[in-house]
Amino acid sequence: MTNTVPVVVVGGGQAGLAAGYYLRRAGVEFVILDDQSEAGGAWQHGWASLRLFSAARYSSLPGWPMPPQPGEPFPTADHVVSYLRAYEQRYELPIRRPIHVEAVRAAADRIRVETDHGVWSAATVISATGTWWRPYVPHCPGQADFAGRQLHTVSYRKPDEFAGQRVVVVGGGNSAAQILAEVSTVADVIWATERPPRFLPDDVDGRVLFDVATQQLLASRAGQQAAGVAGLGDIVVVPSVLAARERGVLVAEPMFERITEHGIVWADGRTRPADTIIWCTGFRPALSHLAPLGLSRVDGHIATRNTQAADDARIHLLGYGNWTGTASATLVGAGRTAKQLVAELTGRPRRSGTATF
């Protein structure tokens, strides 16, 4: 049996909930298909000490501010999960889980969404699956020969399991800095980065980053130039990173050239024994379900006009990064982008030959 609905949202994390909020407010019938067994999106899978980069009041989805977490200036991942769970209940969002979307296909004037629990037919599909489900590990010569353990950020939970080990942390972003900060309290750690890490001023958090990114976007639309986020730095100095800096462990080495059975080797011939390598090397958009559509790509991403796929006006992408909306991979950014997306769906004529509500 095929279920028919005007809009299918794929993904029940922060971006999917933001889309659901505005769709409900606009009176559009929709369903959210989430392949997780519980609410919370990727936040329920982060490491134990993972925190937001901003205070709760600056990290909210639309309609309902995130309650502050007592004693925590930067809310923990568990607090975010509790907020997302309460959010979807508060707005009675129509979420079906666990349902895994296997393929999205064009079917005449509608879109066919194939899942492990049946088929849905929609006029519009909003893809909001995020990136956590597609970790990226770069190739390095000798990788397969390493006798120790290798893991990505997605598999890291707490530092205790690395006690007494020689650990290599790879990556120059926030995840690497936070994981390095706590693993270095129990292990001998080397930090390897492609370029020297850049730290934000101590009084700058995620809210400031979002404001700067927004100003840059507005200036670009007006044909002007504005200082971007790159001028500030990459790494937010959360309390754990600040403590690591005070211990003198935030010292990065250049990226090594190859991996051996028992360690790493730099281009100048220096070697370092290692028991574990933690790859904090980022993620790629989890978009395999859209592959049957054969959408064209630009700079490695699906070509878009704002959130709309350039090749098919019925497909929207939400929450994957700046290419789908300014800071759209953040809680507050997802909300602002979702508002624009739903306004376009309900307030502008569809292009000729596409389905309407």
Measured from the Cβ of residue 141, the count of other Cβ atoms closer than 10 Å reads: 12
Q: How confident is the model at residue 317 (pLDDT cuts 50, 70, 90)?
A: very high
Which residue spans of the chain are classified as CATH 3.50.50.60? Answer: 2-133+283-347, 143-199+234-279
* 355, pLDDT greater than 60: no
Architecture of domain 2-133+283-347 in this structure: 3-Layer(bba) Sandwich (3.50)
Residue type, 8: V
Q: What is the pTM of this model?
A: 0.88
- Decide which of 213 and 63 is more confident: 63
Query: Cα torsion at 287, 44, 98, 126 (round to 10°)?
Result: -40
What is the predicted pLDDT for the residue at 349?
44
| Owner of token pair 């600056």 | 58
- Phi, psi angles (nearest 5°) of residue 155: -100, -5
Distance CA 196, CA 217 (A): 27
Place of tokens 């390493």: 146
What is the pLDDT at residue 235?
A: 85
What's the pLDDT score for residue 243?
94
Is the pLDDT confidence value at 205 over 80?
Answer: no
Check residues 93 and 356 and name the one with the higher pLDDT: 93
Give pLDDT tens digits for 169-203. 999 998 999 999 999 999 999 999 999 998 887 77
Percent of the chain residues topping a pLDDT of 90: 74
- Chain centre distance of CA 282: 9
Residue 231 pLDDT: 43
Predicted confidence band of residue 244 (pLDDT cuts 50, 70, 90): very high
DSSP states of 317-357? E-SSSGGGSTTTTSHHHHHHHHHHHHHHHHHSPPPTTS---
Give the per-residue pLDDT at 337.
93
Q: Rounded to whole angstroms, what are the CA distances from 163 to 150, 182, 183, 188?
A: 16, 11, 8, 9
Q: What is the mean pLDDT of the segment spanning 133-150? A: 97
| Interval 36-59 mean pLDDT | 90
Residue 277 above 90 pLDDT? yes
* CATH number of the structural domain 143-199+234-279: 3.50.50.60
pLDDT range class, residue 108, cuts 50, 70, 90: confident
